[in-house]
Amino acid sequence: MSERILDFLRRRQTDGPCVVVDLDIVRDNYAAFANALPDTSVYYAIKANPAPEVLNLLHELGSSFDCASVGEIEMVLATGAAASRISYGNTIKKERDIARAYALGVRLFAVDCVEEVEKIARVATGSRVFCRVLCDGIGAEWPLSRKFGCDPAMAPDVLERAHCLGLEAYGVSFHVGSQQANLWAWDLALGMAADVFNEMSRRGIELKMVNMGGGFPTRYLKDVPGVPSYGEAIFHALTKHFGNRLPITIVEPGRGMVGNAGMIEAEVVLISRKSSDDELRWVYLDIGKFHGLAETMDEAIRYPIRTPKDGDETAPCILAGPTCDSVDVMYEKTPYELPVSLSIGDKVLIEACGAYTTTYSTVGFNGFAPLASHVI
């Protein structure tokens, strides 16, 4: 609970829901990654929160950046960071966007198929590419689909093709799944990466880099291991699989860098029941799935919520947003315990909202403004 955020909220003059991000916490998170993984470069996944203040701070701290689009690359360059600190980490890129990124100085690209390699070879001569491999995501709260990455058995062909087309076959990447609390996930994935290194070596091509992706969790309602535990587990797995020939390594924290740095203040718009004998209250907030809380989709992320009545007796309720859309319901399958004394007009604080809230907001669904954001 950031006192700075609470103080800001007490003083603010504006109306409506907003998210407030505390840069001191982002600074602490960056230091935790740098300390836990001293030989690994941190590439902040800017999609988690591209607020200019966050990018400026991380630039000053020496972070590198994982970008999903030319738009994100331009945001990073606006901080003054060199293009050499950028990875164009999206495996799905238009050829003209690759060319634009190359013109801006970017030389590091993600791929997961031969078709993408060919685009890069045509318009980003001599660049480094790393091949993303599929990872099963066991233990992640939000296992990734098969959308990104190829079967590990196919990766050597993709990388060899890059090599033959004059690109530098630079390494391998994986993503263990979002909000990954299982420390063994990195061990399995690094074993797979080492297999690709070995196969490439057999083909006469020496890879150099392993991009270990993101997946570092934020604490929501359940406890999660701290960054130092991840650092130890990763170091142990690296040594186990690569011996004394450790590769260059990268991590791409997004949620892990900013998730716990932000808090949303919202207002209770309505509390009602559907019938005179309804056992559950419906609690409607002035923010929902379409204005910042998209990660409640399928009730995936369960945010901690503080109310002015905390400590009073609680009862389960269904929590919903303010739009005329029936899917704009946050928690229904597993109702949320809130104080019985909670009233219409009360302000609630939703914690751990620094990641995947602002840019997930719609432009104005139902005529409500996008989520306001303050970085302090």
Asked if 324 is an active-site residue, the reply is yes
Q: Give the SS3 label for residue 227.
A: helix
Pairing of strands 281-285, 262-272: antiparallel
| Shortest Å, Cβ 321 to a second copy | 8
* Token pair recorded at residue 120: 């890069």
User: 194 with 153: CB under 8 angstroms?
Assistant: no
By C-alpha distance, which of 150, 135, 155, 245 is closest to 199?
155
List of residues 6+ apart from 288 with CB closer than 8 A:
296, 320, 321, 322, 323, 328, 329, 330
Buried b (16+ CB within 10 A) or exposed e, 245-264: eebebbbbbbbbbbbbbbbb
Helix (H) or strand (E) holding 28: helix 23-36
Our CB check for a second copy shows the closer of 284 and 303 to be: 284
| Shortest Å, Cβ 61 to a second copy | 21
Give, in degrees to the nearest 5, the angle at Cα 41 between 175 and 116. 50
Q: Give the SS3 label for residue 326.
A: coil
Rounded-to-integer distance, Cα 103 and Cα 61, Å? 26
| Shortest Å, Cβ 275 to a second copy | 4
The number of beta carbons lying within 10 Å of the beta carbon of residue 139 is 17
CA distances from 237 to 26, 165, 191, 249 (A): 27, 32, 8, 12
| Shortest Å, Cβ 307 to a second copy | 17
| Shortest Å, Cβ 316 to a second copy | 15
Our CB check for a second copy shows the closer of 72 and 231 to be: 72
Our CB check for a second copy shows the closer of 46 and 234 to be: 46
Residue pointed to by tokens 């007796």: 313
Rounded-to-integer distance, Cα 13 and Cα 127, Å? 49
User: 128 with 108: CB under 8 angstroms?
Assistant: yes
Give, in degrees to the nearest 5, the angle at Cα 347 between 51 and 319. 90
Torsion angle of C-alpha atoms 99, 100, 102, 104, degrees rounded to 10: 170
Our CB check for a second copy shows the closer of 246 and 340 to be: 340
Active site residues: 324
